Amino acid sequence: MIAQRSLTLSTASPRQRILIVEDDKKMARSLREGFDERGYDVQVASSGEEGFFVVFSFRPDLLVLDLNLPGRGGLEVLRQLREQALDLRILVLTSHNELEERVQGLREGADDYLGKPFAFSELMARVEALLRRGQPTAPSHSLAVADLILDLTLRRAQRSGISLALTDQEFDLLLYLVENRNRAVSREMLARDVWHETSRFTPIDNVIDVQMARLRRKVDEPFETKLLYTVRGVGFSLREPRP
């Protein structure tokens, strides 16, 4: 159920496309109406099977994906879409909102995760934030630490000339660490500045640890020189290697 609904109209481009994969007809209709009012092109699929194939015909910019679907479940759809390496942002919207379920959803490749019930205004804010990540806003420029290079316009990372397949959340986390290179970054800082969680009562530390583990596998494990470190009792640090 949608607990709250914003009446503020967005300036979103009508060319931006959203696919809703939701088997609850009332929920799907409400979401569709909300996105329609804000100028998005919207399609709805009522099963995981249908949603998987509509992705390739509709080519959405963003997928709103329920997990509890008949037939092919939402997590299976999520995994299979990530295997296709599509430029597609995926927001999981589900009643499965326990911490372990959120962690699993992010591990499987979700860019964001929102539990039901939810406020439509929050859903819209998250959708707009995800879609902004794909829109260049400034001339191409980059940041570099040793052989790690971040293209801030294209939001791509590479190390030793090898492209790193990062999710949007992983790129944001890596960018924050690069911007704070050679400093200890606490989990509280990451929760506030990367996840935008202002309440420390939110159990997000495990989510941060999961994302850091994923980032290490992509940024450090294939290479001899390590850049990412755990700072005991504090958090993490990205350090420039000593000459």
In terms of C-beta density within 10 A (0-12 exposed, 13-18 middle, 19 or more buried), how is residue 64 classed?
buried
Output the CA torsion 176→123→88→18 (10° steps).
Answer: -150
At residue 6 the predicted structure's pLDDT band, cuts being 50, 70 and 90, is: very low
Distance CA(185)–CA(215), nearest Å, equals: 15
Q: What pLDDT shows up at residue 8?
A: 36
Planar angle of CA 239, 108, 214, nearest 5 degrees: 15
Span 131-186, pLDDT tens digits? 887 654 444 578 889 889 998 877 889 888 788 989 888 999 999 999 999 999 99
Q: Which two tokens stand for residue 164?
A: 């790193």
Distance CA(51)–CA(78), nearest Å, equals: 10
For residues 13 and 211, which has the higher predicted lDDT (pLDDT)? 211
Domain residue extents for the chain: 17-131, 142-238
Span 85-135, pLDDT tens digits? 677 899 999 998 888 888 888 888 899 999 999 999 999 999 999 988 765
CATH code, residues 142-238: 1.10.10.10
Q: Are 195 and 206 in contact (CB under 8 A)?
A: no
Residue with tokens 């530390």: 205
DSSP for 157-184, please give it. Answer: EEETTEEE---HHHHHHHHHHHHTTTS-
The CA-atom distances, in angstroms, between 166 and each of 120, 157, 174, 212, 221 are: 28, 8, 9, 12, 14
- As a three-state string, the secondary structure of 34-61 is HHHHCCCEEEEECCHHHHHHHHHHHCCC
Q: Which two tokens stand for residue 79?
A: 């995994």
Return the half-sphere exposure (C-beta side, CA atoms, 13 A cut-off) of residue 24: 14
Residue 29: pLDDT over 90: yes
Q: What pLDDT shows up at residue 216?
A: 95
Q: Are 78 and 66 in contact (CB under 8 A)?
A: no
**How many Å is the maximal CA-CA distance in the chain?**
61
At residue 33 the predicted structure's pLDDT band, cuts being 50, 70 and 90, is: very high
**Residue from 122, 33, 121, 34 nearest 113 by CA:** 122
Span 197-226, pLDDT tens digits? 766 655 678 889 999 999 999 999 988 899
Distance CA(39)–CA(9), nearest Å, equals: 8
Give the CATH fold of the 17-131 domain: Rossmann fold (3.40.50)
At residue 10 the predicted structure's pLDDT band, cuts being 50, 70 and 90, is: very low
Residue 75: pLDDT over 50: yes
Distance CA(90)–CA(145), nearest Å, equals: 29
The CA-atom distances, in angstroms, between 217 and each of 102, 140, 176 are: 20, 27, 18
